[in-house]
Amino acid sequence: MEIATSRAGRVSLTVFFWLLVIFLYLPIAVLALFSFNDGDPSFPLAGFTTHWYGDVLSNRILVTALGRSAVVATISSLIAVTLGVLTSFALLRRRFFGKPVVSALVFSPLVIPYLVFGISLLLLFTLLDKVLTQSFGFYFGLGLHAVVIGHVVVALPYTILTIVPLLERLSVSLDEAANDLGANPRETFRRVTLPLLMPALISAFLVAFTLSFDEFAIASFLAGSQQTWPVYLFAQLRVPSLLPQLIAVSSVVFIASMLLVVSAEIGRRLAERRYGREYAARLV
Amino acid sequence: MATQEAAASAKQWRRRERGVTAGLLSAPMLWLLLFFVAPVVYVALYSLGGIKLFPTDTGVISLEGWRRFLGGGSIYLGLFWKSVRMSLTVSVVVVLLAYPIGYFLALCVRKLKYVLLLVIIVPFLTSFLLRVLAWKVMLGDRGVVNSLLVSLHLRPANEPIEWLLYSQFTVMLVLAYVWIPFVALPIFVSLDNLDRSLLEAASDLGASRVRTFVRVTLPLSLPGLIAAFVFVFVPTIGEFVTPLLVGGTSGYMYGNAIQDLFTRGLDWQSGSVLAMFLLIVVAGLMAVFGRYVQVRSVAAD
């Protein structure tokens, strides 16, 4: 006898599951559908067109905003992954006093409301602006650098959560073997640990990248006049004539980030499984 | 001599080890202290009036701002409770919807379970703003749903269903939509880690499926259930983007008040009080329920 469900229960759960999948994907599918509609996003459909996509390319401000988001996301993810690797090694391979405090600190950005964090940095940068710009004539107020700084903080826990599972499976004996073969710690890291860790690093980078690229709450307080893509999108929603263009870009961004995230997930899983098998083989 | 040398080298080794740990941790800790801890402490001080940022700030520490906020008849406190009610409703609905999904994936699907889990989670990992935007396009007066109803002659033209957009209902619908995928995860993890032999034992001892569920499965998945609840409640209580896009005036939430105080009202001190209060509430929730939230389960194991 199947214990978890009866036959009828199983069927109804299957139906429920697929209904929920439809509920989750339908609004997005509708959005994508209307990006090809030659008119307002409403029924009846006015005919097929791709001109909204063409319009996007000639919309300078929009393209600039997308570019800014790409830059912010690249820089912040590179920093977040670097800090994430360092923290993961410390948490997993070192013994030190105050480890629970460190771990609570690095994971607390997962639960802090982005609204509160955003205004905290807004206050900080307003102060920095006042002190630094006025005293030293060197600008450090709001802008993309502030967004990068904020995004690194919120992406850091996600990178650690992506790196730690794989690092856990990498045996310390590999390091010891490299050491016995005459490699110094730096060489060991560069030629043994880093290549083995690469799938997790790429995956962590992609996760951090998508997080930053789409992030609105923090960026809205910190971007100042340099609007990133989500901030621009939000501001332009009030302009109905722009809506089809925004929908077109959104559909592309959605599909791109979906592909990124899925490939990151698959890569990470494959690597973990491979190392897991090697780990199991060693135990036998 | 030998022992002295050994002791000296052990000491040296320990110092080197400590140096390595410090080397690993210094950059991340410095980043978090400067750009995470310091700003939050700064807001706390600012909410007490202890910092002079604008000419109108007094720079004198007092509890005046907090008294105004917590005192009787404060509109913000009322707004906070309204947000708590909305958040609670959303959390309960979402957990009830996500539990069968987690149950189905963990206990009824064998080969494809991780693929199907990914199908559920992927929307969560893509743009939040976009998913809210999709609903705005769907539910507007001239939006997809209303225009579809008119096209199908189910409703007369120029008489859109108005409550579809800009209402408390819409905010809660969209929030539920946004959080279901994420919440299915901790529930799935706790059910997937459940020892199947316990279910078999219950069945062998003559328990019916319902009884097995109520007495074995449900209690064992309770930590996942609580984690799921916290996962929705904590972020939705401070939500401001969704109500801003689909809430209108009746869907206005506590988070919107904070944002308005900073961007429009320019009363940063009251804004800081409201923000700190929210942070204290969240920290309190995490202190009580945090032990159920295993951070690891976020990593989609």
Locus of tokens 């007490």: B48
Residues of chain A positioned with their CB less than 8 A from the CB of B104: 13-14, 16-17
Token pair for A225? 């006049």
Q: Please determine, for residue B134, whether its predicted confidence score (pLDDT) is greater than 90.
A: no
C-alpha distances in Å from residue A157, one per residue of A81, A106, A224, B278: 10, 6, 26, 21
Residue A181, chain B, CB below 8 Å: the answer is no
Is the residue at A20 inside a domain?
A: no
pLDDT digits (tens, 9 = 90+) for B151-204: 787 777 777 777 777 888 889 999 999 999 888 888 888 888 888 888 888 888
Candidates A17, A164, A221; nearest CB to B101 = A17
Q: What pLDDT score does A218 carry?
A: 95
Shortest CA distance from B18: residue in chain A:
A96
For B158: left if phi > 0, alpha if psi spans -120 to 50, otherwise beta; the answer is left
C-alpha distances in Å from residue B193, one per residue of A175, B196, B221: 32, 9, 9
Shortest CA distance from A116: residue in chain B:
B275
For the packed helices A194-214 and B128-139, what is the interaxial angle rounded to 10 degrees? 30
C-alpha distance across the termini of chain A, in Å: 34
DSSP state of B63: S
Candidates A30, A153, A221; nearest CB to B36 = A153
Contact B76, B267 (CB under 8 A): no
* Backbone phi, psi, residue A77, to 5°: -70, -40
Instruction: For residues B62-86, give the mean pLDDT.
Output: 85
Amino acid occupying residue B236: T
Q: How many residues does chain A have?
A: 284
Q: What pLDDT score does A278 carry?
A: 65
Residues of chain A positioned with their CB less than 8 A from the CB of B254: none
Instruction: For residues B245-260, give the mean pLDDT.
Output: 88
Whether residues A28 and B123 touch (CB distance < 8 A) is answered with yes
Is the residue at A223 inside a domain?
A: yes
Candidates A153, A162, A262; nearest CB to B122 = A262
Candidates B25, B100, B125; nearest CB to A13 = B100
Shortest CA distance from A117: residue in chain B:
B40
CATH architecture of B67-299: Orthogonal Bundle (1.10)
Is the residue at A178 inside a domain?
A: yes
Q: What pLDDT score does B300 carry?
A: 39
Residue that wins the pLDDT comparison between B73 and B77 = B77
Q: How many residues does chain B have?
A: 301
Q: What pLDDT score does A280 carry?
A: 59
List, run by run, the mean pLDDT of 10-residue segments along chain A (284 residues).
76 92 89 79 72 80 91 97 94 86 91 93 89 75 92 95 85 77 80 85 89 92 91 83 83 83 79 69 54
Residues of chain B positioned with their CB less than 8 A from the CB of A230: 127, 129
Count Cβ atoms within 10 A of the Cβ of residue A214 and give its class: 0-12 exposed, 13-18 middle, 19 or more buried: buried
Provide the CB-side half-sphere exposure for A225 (13 A, CA): 1
Task: Note down the domain range covering A204.
Answer: 53-283
Nearest to A49 by CA among A244, A257, A251: A244
Cβ contacts of A16 within 8 Å, gap of 6 or more: B100, B101, B104
Count Cβ atoms within 10 A of the Cβ of residue B30 and give its class: 0-12 exposed, 13-18 middle, 19 or more buried: exposed
- DSSP H helices, chain B, are 2-32, 38-47, 64-70, 75-103, 113-125, 128-139, 144-151, 168-192, 196-204, 209-212, 218-220, 222-237, 241-246, 254-263, 268-289
Q: What pLDDT score does B299 carry?
A: 41
CATH for A248: 1.10.3720.10
Is the residue at A104 inside a domain?
A: yes
Amino acid occupying residue A53: Y
Q: What pLDDT score does B298 carry?
A: 43
DSSP state of B141: T
* Bridge partner residues of A37 (DSSP): A48
Amino acid occupying residue B176: A
Q: How far apart (Å, rounded) are the C-alpha atoms in residues B36 and A230?
A: 22
Is the residue at A37 inside a domain?
A: no
Q: What pLDDT score does B243 carry?
A: 92
Q: Please determine, for residue B140, whether its predicted confidence score (pLDDT) is greater than 60.
A: yes
Q: What pLDDT score does A282 carry?
A: 56
DSSP secondary structure letters along B208-234? -HHHHIIIIIHHHTHHHHHHHHHHHHH
Q: What pLDDT score does A283 carry?
A: 52
Is the residue at A48 inside a domain?
A: no
Q: How far apart (Å, rounded) are the C-alpha atoms in residues A216 and B50?
A: 30
ipTM exceeding 0.90, yes/no: no
Whether residues B209 and A27 touch (CB distance < 8 A) is answered with no
C-alpha distances in Å from residue A227, one per residue of A126, A248, A252: 17, 19, 19
Residues of chain A positioned with their CB less than 8 A from the CB of B31: 79, 83, 152-153, 156
pLDDT digits (tens, 9 = 90+) for B195-248: 888 888 888 888 888 888 888 888 888 888 888 898 899 889 989 999 988 888
Shortest CA distance from A127: residue in chain B:
B53
Tell me how many domains chain A contains.
Answer: 1
Residues of chain B positioned with their CB less than 8 A from the CB of A41: 137, 143-144
Residues of chain A positioned with their CB less than 8 A from the CB of B140: 42
Token pair for B147? 């225009």
C-beta neighbour count of B49 within 10 angstroms: 20
